Amino acid sequence: MSSLVENNIMEFRTTFQPVLDQDGFLINQDDLVCREISDLSLMVIRTSKDHKKNAITIKDIFNAELPESLSASLNDNGDNFLWISPDEIWLLHNRNNKDQLLEKFKSLPKGMSTTDSSGAYGILEFSGNNVDTLLSRWMSYDLEGSLTIGKVVSTTCGQAPVCIYRNIEGNLLMMVRHSFSHYVAGLLKDSAKRI
């Protein structure tokens, strides 16, 4: 029987492609740019109920701090660990490192598991001074005042559930289920014309 690593074939597929312009942007205007990130993959790590054990495991296996509630941590490889709930961490990583991560996942202790959710979500990156203005039209969460650097929040964009994360000032990542990609893209493109 062959292993998961041996059968792992990376293939990037997007549902945003039909709404991107010829240069690959969803939005590209002064002080507001939105593009799909195609070099990141998303792994979901289900943790145990033992917070201390989880912290030790994440440190030992991934050389990262276990993120606190509504926050993120980063390791030396540039992998982002996003807190989603008390028993769920999302790992955003470079898809070229997927084989190495799959090997590391074999070391997870009993009570912890992973799922590759790369095929379920698209990742949009927003940059520019008008990001908060655009997104605040469709989100009830206070992006400008409450979404500080390193903070992760599950919210909605219109009626679509999304996860947002501010990694640096003037930059924001949004994870959108592919089943909502055209809906979210329509809201964003239409609203960007009015800014």
Strand partners, 126: 34, 172
Helices (H), 85-164: 98-105, 131-136, 143-146
* Separation of alpha carbons 68 and 55, rounded Å: 10
Which band of pLDDT confidence, cut at 50, 70 and 90, is reported for residue 176? very high
pLDDT at position 135 is: 93
Give pTM, 2 decimals. 0.85
pLDDT 10s digits, 29-43: 999 999 998 888 899
- Average pLDDT of span 50-78: 91
- Cα separations (Å) of 34 from 4, 19, 88, 97, 185? 34, 12, 27, 25, 10
pLDDT of residue 16: 82
Query: Regarding the domain delimited by 17-192, which CATH topology (the fold level of the hierarchy) does it fall under?
Result: Gyrase A; domain 2 (3.30.1360)
Mean pLDDT computed over 109-117: 87
4, pLDDT greater than 70: no
Alpha-carbon span 27 to 190, nearest angstrom: 10
In the chain, the N- to C-terminal Cα span, in Å, equals 56
Among the listed residues 62, 7, 16, the one whose alpha carbon sits nearest the alpha carbon of residue 38: 16
Query: What is the C-alpha separation between 143 and 34, in angstroms, rounded?
Result: 16
Surface-to-core class of residue 28, CB atoms within 10 Å of its CB (0-12 exposed, 13-18 middle, 19+ buried): middle
Question: Average pLDDT of the chain?
Answer: 87
Lowest-confidence pick of 28-37, 79-88, 105-114, 128-137 = 105-114
To 10 degrees, the CA torsion angle through 15, 43, 150, 66?
A: 170
Q: How far, in Å, CA of 6 to CA of 90, rounded?
A: 23
Task: Give the alpha-carbon dihedral of 93, 99, 103, 105, to 10 degrees.
Answer: 40
**Residue type (1 letter), 39:** D
Residue 161's φ and ψ, nearest 5 degrees, are -70, 135
Please report the pLDDT score of residue 195 as a whole number. 86
